[in-house]
Amino acid sequence: MRTIALSLVFCLPLAAAAWDFQGDETRKPELQRAVDVLEFFGFPAPDAVRLDDNALALTLQGQTLGAPLKGANVDLAWALLDLELAVVDRDAFRPWRDATAAFLRSRVHKTDWIPSSLQEGMLKAWMTDLTRERPEFLGSLWSAVSESGWRGWKTFFQFNAGTTPEDSFAASASRVLPSLRPLIPRLPAVDLKEGQITFALPPAPPLSVSMVELAFPADRVTGTSIAWDAPRFPVPAVLLAYYGPPLDTFDVVDLSRKQNEILVPFKGLSALYIAGFSPDFSTVGNPLALHAAPEENYPFVLKQAALKQDEEGISVTFDTEALRRIDGFVLMKGMAGDSARPQPVGMVPGLGSSGDAYSFTILDPASPDEGQRPVYYLYAITEDGLLAQAAELPLAASQPVAAGTAAELH
């Protein structure tokens, strides 16, 4: 008979444990709060803590670690957390260790942790997602990594989360990346103004992201195709599109779900990025070659758009041709002089591609209040969920559109 031994890392909550303390008793409550947070997030409680005038010592699982303290007002919680996490010293894990300490410290002091770098922001999102339903995951994951490095990390996720650490991190980082735009460092831009071009997406380091910014000629070309030499995008990656006024928002497209290429409209964009994540934290990948080519008249040609008011409301009629991979058109309404984001008032869904000419009408049944001047914005929605601004139609300031008359934009 053969005996097979399996070593699995299971995530189990730890029972609260008493710990010995030597030192100034008035400082113990501060340390107790740190210990409570550690235990809540699945970390082992210390066996003993000794506090001297200029040093803090921690005994944990038979090992004693110490650190000097500078100044009477030193943050003891931070010092204790740093000692607890000192078991992982490898450089590859240092960003995660520092982020974990900041994450736990914010819980001790009941304050929000404001990341100071793009990587910190993504790690904060990842730990927040990881601990939302099972806070003890964080400590159990830490124990797995301290014992077995990257292999322990993979084993933990396999048996506790049903995914890989790389995919888990990429999902959290992609979700929060748009809001971290102020922390995106200055990047060398890939200039798409020169027509067809091949450029590289560098490999992403573990627990971080690799990004390229795309400079686009929105005044001369209406879009671009971005293709890659594989049926699927080889690494977890997203396309990040920021829109300028009046939307001032963003869209994120998961490139990992796209086949061969994606088409991107330029009209209405303010910035465009591709962000890639590491498919394997334990190895260094290779640069990924991407190919961009201009796409004229993408995603459609607008022949004219007209705004008309009658007893039914205000309608926008627009004539188009050469539709390419369009999911629909959406009409949004804002108010002149109002900085609020325009709101959808109607749409034409499910168009696809066609070389024929079409005429569409979208009705806004709501009449403006006295003194209001609506401004209508027409956008095309591509099959990838990206927006292409097509027209802006303001109601004339000097004379409102009378019933049965029209204002046109060509």
| pLDDT tens-digit readout, 202-239 | 999 989 999 999 998 867 778 999 999 988 888 999 99
Of the chain, the percentage scoring pLDDT greater than 90 comes to: 52
* Claim to verify: residue 328 and residue 223 sit in the same structural domain: no
Range of the domain at 215: 181-294
Phi-psi region at 169: left, alpha or beta (left = phi > 0; alpha = psi -120 to 50): alpha
Cα–Cα dist 243/249, whole Å: 5
- Which of 9-13, 187-191, 282-286: highest mean pLDDT? 187-191
* Claim to verify: residue 40 and residue 134 sit in the same structural domain: yes
Please spell the DSSP secondary structure of 83-136, one letter per residue: HHGGG---GGGHHHHHHHHHHHHHHHHT-----SSHHHHHHHHHHHHHHSS-TT
As a whole number, mean pLDDT of residues 281-305 equals 91
As a whole number, mean pLDDT of residues 230-253 equals 93
Supply the pLDDT for residue 90.
61
Supply the pLDDT for residue 1.
36
13 part of a folded domain: no
Supply the pLDDT for residue 404.
35
Supply the pLDDT for residue 17.
56
| pLDDT tens-digit readout, 320-341 | 999 999 999 999 999 988 888 9
- The residue among 252, 269, 274, 253 whose CA lies nearest residue 216 is 269
* Number of domains within the chain: 3
Cα–Cα dist 375/381, whole Å: 19
| pLDDT tens-digit readout, 58-114 | 888 788 888 888 766 678 888 888 888 876 656 667 888 889 989 999 999 999 999
9 part of a folded domain: no
* Claim to verify: residue 232 and residue 354 sit in the same structural domain: no
15 part of a folded domain: no
Q: Which of 44-53, 134-143, 217-226 has the lowest mean pLDDT?
A: 217-226
Q: Is the pLDDT of residue 297 over 70?
A: yes
51 part of a folded domain: yes
* Claim to verify: residue 87 and residue 50 sit in the same structural domain: yes
Cα–Cα dist 140/11, whole Å: 6
Q: Is the pLDDT of residue 10 over 70?
A: no
As a whole number, mean pLDDT of residues 278-293 equals 90
Of the chain, the percentage scoring pLDDT greater than 70 comes to: 90
